[in-house]
Amino acid sequence: MRTLLLSTLLITSSLLSAQTKVKITNVTITSQEQETKGANATSVLNGSEGSERITLFTDGAYAVRTWMKVSTHKSPRSSVKDSAVNLIMELDLLENGKKKDNRRVEKIFYMDQKRTTTFSEKFVIKKGIDVRTIAVKFDAEIE
């Protein structure tokens, strides 16, 4: 009986633990003056902190994939920094499944600041004298 009660308590507490959602919306990919909309995505992290990979866009040989991480700061000397939430995103441009280029972007949200931001990154692919520019823009929100 005691084991059943303990396991029920553990399951209930794990279900009630905070889950962080990262919503990615308004994904826009611009390549050779042609604009393409990507799909919206929501990532549910297990607990209040964690990381996840999401593919934002796939078009033939090219794909844009992101790795995101949400963490909090631990600062005993500053209450502003102690309440901060950090969102790190690494964007990878893949060509035929192989990593071609990447960018790392970071946003820190302090205190009761609204946890939404817009990311805009540009990738340049050179093959001899041919140059292709791919611009990636999207909104991210932490809930």
Total-model pTM: 0.74
pLDDT of res. 10: 46
Assigned token pair, 90: 């690494």
pLDDT recorded at residue 120: 93
The per-residue pLDDT for 137 is 93
Give the chain's domain count: 1
Q: Domain containing 129: what range?
A: 19-142
Q: Is 6 within the bounds of a domain?
A: no
Q: Assess if residue 9 is contained within a domain.
A: no
- Can you name the residues that pair with 142 across neighbouring β-strands? 22
Please list the rounded mean pLDDT of every run of 10 residues in the chain (143 residues): 51 56 90 85 79 83 87 68 82 86 89 87 88 90 89
List the structure tokens of 16. Answer: 């009630």
pLDDT at 7: 52
What's the pLDDT at 6?
Answer: 46
Question: Is 123 within 8 Å of 103 (Cβ atoms)?
Answer: yes
Asked if residue 90 lies in contact with residue 102, where contact means CB atoms within 8 angstroms, the answer is yes
